[in-house]
Structure 1
Amino acid sequence: MSILFECEYKGRRYVGLGKPASGETRTLYQVADGRLREAVISGGGPEAVVAAVTEGAETVAVSADDPEVRFLPPLLPTGTGNALITGFMGTHRSKFDRDPAPDEKFNAPNWLIKGFGSWARMPGEPLTVPASTIALLEEPEVALVYVNDDDGVPHYAGYTFGNDLNDIGLHLRNPWGWTPYAKLCDTSMTPWLFLGAPPQTVTGRIIIERDGATAWEGPFSCGADAIFHRVEDMVGNLLSYPALRRPGLVNYLLLGADKASYHDGFRIADGDRITIDVTSHDVVLSNVVRYARQASTA
Structure 2
Amino acid sequence: MALRLMQYRGADGQRRVIAADDSGARFVRGFADVRSLALHAIQAGQSLAEAVAAAGSDGDADPAAALAAGHLLAPIDHPDAAHLVLTGTGLTHLGSAEGRDKMHRDAAAAEHKTDSMRMFLEGVEGGKPGAGAIGQQPEWFYKGNGHHLVGPGETLAMPGFAQDGGEEPELAGIYLIGPDGTPFRLGLCLANEFSDHVTERHNYLWLAHSKLRQAALGPELLVGEAPSDVRGTSRIVRDGATLWEKPFLSGERNMSHSLANLEHHHFKYGLFRQPGDVHVHFFGTATLSFSDGVKTEVGDTFEIAAAPFTLPLRNPLAQVEDAGIAAVKLL
TM-score range normalised by the length of the shorter chain: 0.7 to 0.9
Q: Given the superposition, is the C-alpha separation of residues 67 and 90 from structure 1 closer, same or farther in structure 2, using an over 3 Å criterion?
A: closer
* Gapped regions of structure 2 (runs ≥ 5): 98-119
Q: What is the CA deviation profile of residues 248-276 of structure 1, one whole-angstrom value per residue up to 9, with x for unaligned ones? A: 01111110111321111111111111101
1:29 is matched with 29
TM-aligned CA deviation for residue 228 of structure 1: 0.7
What letter corresponds to residue 145 of structure 2 in structure 1? F
**Residues paired across the two proteins, number:** 290
Q: Given the superposition, is the C-alpha separation of residues 252 and 282 from structure 1 closer, same or farther in structure 2, using an over 3 Å criterion?
A: same
* Gapped regions of structure 1 (runs ≥ 5): none
TM-aligned CA deviation for residue 200 of structure 1: 0.9
SS at match of 1:162: strand
Judging by fraction of residues, say which structure has more helix: 2
- Within 5 Å, give how 1:77-116 maps onto structure 2: 77-78=78-79, 82-94=83-95, 95=97, 96=120, 99-100=124-125, 106-116=135-145
TM-score by length of 1: 0.86
Q: Given the superposition, is the C-alpha separation of residues 128 and 281 from structure 1 closer, same or farther in structure 2, using an over 3 Å criterion?
A: same
SS at match of 1:208: strand
Aligned equivalent of 2:264, options 223, 233, 236: 236
2:51 is matched with 49
Aligned equivalent of 1:259, options 287, 304, 326: 287
2:5 is matched with 4
Q: What is the CA deviation profile of residues 122-173 of structure 1, one whole-angstrom value per residue up to 9, with x for unaligned ones? A: 1111100123332333111111111111121111211111100101110111
TM-score by length of 2: 0.78
Aligned equivalent of 1:130, options 145, 156, 159: 159
Greater CA drift, 276-285 or 228-237: 276-285
1:179 is matched with 207
What letter corresponds to residue 175 of structure 2 in structure 1? Y
Contact 1:144–1:198 under 8 Å retained in 2: no
Contact 1:43–1:49 under 8 Å retained in 2: no
Contact 1:28–1:61 under 8 Å retained in 2: no
TM-aligned CA deviation for residue 287 of structure 1: 0.7
Q: What is the CA deviation profile of residues 85-119 of structure 1, one whole-angstrom value per residue up to 9, with x for unaligned ones? A: 11111111212469436759722111111111343
Name the CA distance, whole Å, in 1 between partners of 2:86 and 2:238.
28
Q: Give the share of equivalent positions with the same residue, in percent.
A: 28
1:74 is matched with 75
Q: Given the superposition, is the C-alpha separation of residues 266 and 81 from structure 1 closer, same or farther in structure 2, using an over 3 Å criterion?
A: same
2:300 is matched with 272
Q: CA RMSD in A?
A: 2.7
Name the CA distance, whole Å, in 2 between partners of 1:67 and 1:79.
28
Q: What is the CA deviation profile of residues 153-204 of structure 1, one whole-angstrom value per residue up to 9, with x for unaligned ones? A: 111211111100101110111112x112111222110131111122211111
SS at match of 1:110: coil
Name the CA distance, whole Å, in 2 between partners of 1:38 and 1:119.
23
Name the CA distance, whole Å, in 2 between partners of 1:260 and 1:159.
21
